[in-house]
Chain A
Amino acid sequence: MDRRKFMKFIGCGACAAMSSHSGLLPEFLGGVQNACAFDYTRELSSVEARYYKKLPEGGIECEICPRRCRITDLERGYCGSRENRGDTYYTLVYGLPCAVNIDPIEKKPFHHFYPGTSAFSLATAGCNVNCKCCQNWDISQSRPEQTENFSLPPKDIIDLCQQRKVPTIAYTYSEPVIFYEYMYDTAELGHKHGIKSVMISGGYINPEPLGELLKHLNAVKIDLKAIRETYYKDYVDGELKPVLDGLIQIKKSDVWLEIVYLVIPTLNDSDDEFTELARWIKNYLGVDVPIHLSRFYPQYLLKNLPPTPQTTLDRALSICRAEGLEYVYLGNIPSHKAESTYCPKCGEMLIERRGYRTSVSGMSKNKCKSCGKIIPGRFF
Chain B
Amino acid sequence: MYIVIMSRVAVVKYFGDFLGEKFSVSVYENMIKAGIGFVAGNLSLNEYFKQLFPGGAVGIKTNCLTPFNATPLNLTEAFVNILRENAGYDENDLIIWERTNHELKKAGYTLNAASTGVRCLGTDVATIGYDRTFLNSGKVNSMVSKILTRMIEHNVNIPILKDHSIAGMSAGLKNMYGAIHNPNKYHDNNCSPYAANINNLTPIRDKHRLTIIDAVKVQYDNGPGYAPHSIDSYNSLIISEDPVAADCVALEILNRIRARNGKKSLKELGREVKYLDEAEKLGLGQANIAKIEIGVLAIAEDGSISEGKLF
- Which residues of chain A have a CB within 8 Å of any CB of chain B? 58-59, 69-70, 72-80, 84, 130, 141-143, 145-146, 237, 300-301
Contact = CB atoms under 8 A, between A and B. Distances in A.
Contacts of B222: 58, 72
Given A73-B224, A145-B124, 7 more contacts: A70-B166, A74-B225, A141-B185, A143-B181, A143-B184, A146-B130, A300-B134
B185 A146 contact: no
A301 B142 CA distance: 10
Contacts of B100: 145
Nearest to B164: A72
A141 B184 CA distance: 10
Contact of A146 (B129, B188, B223): B129
Given A72-B225, A74-B65, A301-B134, A130 B165 contact: no
B66 interface: yes
A69 B165 CA distance: 12
Contacts of A145: 100, 124
Contacts of A143: 181-182, 184
Interface in B118-166: 124, 129-130, 134, 136, 141, 165-166
Nearest to A80: B184
Given A72-B225, A73-B225, A145-B124, A59 B185 contact: no
Given A58-B222, A73-B225, A301-B141, A78 B184 contact: yes
Given A72-B165, A300-B134, A78 B225 contact: no
B4 to A, nearest CB: 36
B259 to A, nearest CB: 19
A149 to B, nearest CB: 13
Interface in B77-130: 100, 124, 129-130
Contacts of A69: 187
A211 B185 CA distance: 27
B264 to A, nearest CB: 12
B182 A74 contact: no
B187 A78 contact: yes
A356 B251 CA distance: 59
B226 interface: yes
A80 B165 contact: no
B182 A75 contact: no
A142 B181 contact: yes
6 contacts: A72-B225, A75-B224, A78-B187, A142-B181, A143-B181, A146-B181
Contacts of B225: 72-75, 84
Nearest to A85: B225
B226 A73 contact: yes
Contacts of B136: 301
Contact of B66 (A74, A84, A130, A237): A74
Contacts of B226: 73
Given A145-B124, A146-B130, A300-B134, A78 B185 contact: yes
**Closest 6 pairs between A and B when the two form their complex, measured CB to CB:** A73-B225, A80-B184, A72-B165, A74-B225, A76-B184, A301-B141
A72 B221 CA distance: 12
Nearest to B221: A58
A190 to B, nearest CB: 30
In the complex, which of the residues A59, A84, A141 has the most CB atoms of chain B within 10 Å of its own CB atom?
A141
B27 to A, nearest CB: 29
A146 B132 CA distance: 12
Contact of B224 (A72, A78, A142, A237): A72
Contacts of A237: 185
B46 to A, nearest CB: 40
Contacts of A79: 184
Interface in B223-244: 223-226
A146 B226 CA distance: 25
Interface string B46-73: 0000000000000000000110000000
Nearest to B67: A74
A142 B181 CA distance: 7
Interface in B180-209: 181-182, 184-185, 187-188
B261 to A, nearest CB: 16
A79 B187 CA distance: 11
Contacts of A301: 134, 136, 141
A70 B164 CA distance: 12
A310 to B, nearest CB: 29
A308 B291 CA distance: 52
Contacts of A300: 134
Given A146-B129, A301-B134, A77 B124 contact: no
Nearest to B223: A72
Nearest to B165: A72
A130 B182 CA distance: 11
Contacts of A59: 165
Most buried by A among B65, B181, B224, B225: B225
Given A58-B222, A72-B224, A145-B100, A77 B65 contact: no
Nearest to A130: B185
A143 B182 CA distance: 7
Contacts of B187: 69, 75, 78
B292 to A, nearest CB: 30
Contacts of B185: 78, 80, 130, 141, 237
A6 to B, nearest CB: 17
Contacts of A70: 165-166
A142 B65 contact: no
Given A72-B165, A145-B100, A146-B130, A77 B184 contact: yes
A342 to B, nearest CB: 41
A146 B124 CA distance: 7
A289 B184 CA distance: 35
Contacts of B223: 72
Contacts of A142: 181-182
Contacts of A130: 141, 185
A55 to B, nearest CB: 10
A120 B89 CA distance: 55
Contacts of A77: 184
Nearest to B123: A146
A219 B52 CA distance: 61
Given A58-B222, A146-B130, A301-B134, A141 B182 contact: yes
